[in-house]
Amino acid sequence: MKQELNHYNKYTKGPKEGQPKTLTDRVIRFLIEGLKKTELPSKNQYRKFPGSKPDSFYWVGNAGACRVGKNISGSFSMSSQVHLNMKLWERKEGLK
């Protein structure tokens, strides 16, 4: 199944309605809404977003893993930094 660009899964009913379902969905929401990044098409299992430098990209994988670099093999993990910034942004915005 092909993944839609700039989309993350949300709860549709119940007390968590509108909230992202998984950590990966939270990271993607942070990149799209918090950092104003636009998802780029990618041929592999990672979801690709433009980085802060011209030649770098954010690569989001399973379980909310986030890497930064030109490509997957040349990237390094930034999960802890991205997750920390995501939590700070969620608190500031009043999100969960």
pLDDT averaged over consecutive 10-residue blocks of the chain (96 residues)?
78 88 95 96 93 94 95 94 95 85
Q: Options 1.10.10, 1.10.3470, 3.30.310, 3.40.50; which CATH number does 23-93 get?
A: 3.30.310
Q: With contact defined as beta carbons under 8 Å apart, do 40 and 50 qualify?
A: yes
In the chain, the N- to C-terminal Cα span, in Å, equals 28
pLDDT (0 to 100) of residue 91: 94
Q: Which residues share a beta bridge with 49?
A: 58
pLDDT (0 to 100) of residue 43: 87
Model's pTM, two decimal places? Answer: 0.89
Distances (CA, A) of 92 to 10, 27, 34, 41, 79: 20, 16, 11, 30, 20
Q: With contact defined as beta carbons under 8 Å apart, do 87 and 74 qualify?
A: no
